Amino acid sequence: GAVVSQHPSWVICKSGTSVKIECRSLDFQATTMFWYRQFPKQSLMLMATSNEGSKATYEQGVEKDKFLINHASLTLSTLTVTSAHPEDSSFYICSAPAVGAGDTQYFGPGTRLTVL
């Protein structure tokens, strides 16, 4: 099946720094990718839709200047958490729709961000 990778798998940073998380579709092209945030023992909350070659679409309540998304190619989307603070600590997950079966999504393994 299709594979979506994320890098890094975990990161620890100091408050005030920026962190970039990569999401790659390894064996298929994805014009759209999704970014989710998952708090401990809670469900996934959609943050934004990443669109190749155009601006990302953010869900209500998500700060677009805080969570910068770039989808520069058909296999790569990046999420940059700018000026991170401890409340940004979370599990960030990306997904991409399957080719020809868009209602099925492939998920990355997630990135654990801890902001000290």
Partner 1 sequence: GNSVTQMEGPVTLSEEAFLTINCTYTATGYPSLFWYVQYPGEGLQLLLKATKADDKGSNKGFEATYRKETTSFHLEKGSVQVSDSAVYFCALSPLRSNDYKLSFGAGTTVTVRA
Residue 34 interacts with partner 1 (CB under 8 A): yes or no: yes
Angle at 69 between CA 95 and CA 97, to 5 degrees: 20
* Cα-only R_g, the chain: 13
Residue 105 interacts with partner 1 (CB under 8 A): yes or no: yes
Which of the residues 37 through 56 are near partner 1 (CB under 8 A)?
41-44, 46, 49
Residue 93 interacts with partner 1 (CB under 8 A): yes or no: yes
| The one among 7, 28, 32, 70 contacting partner 1 by CB under 8 A | 32
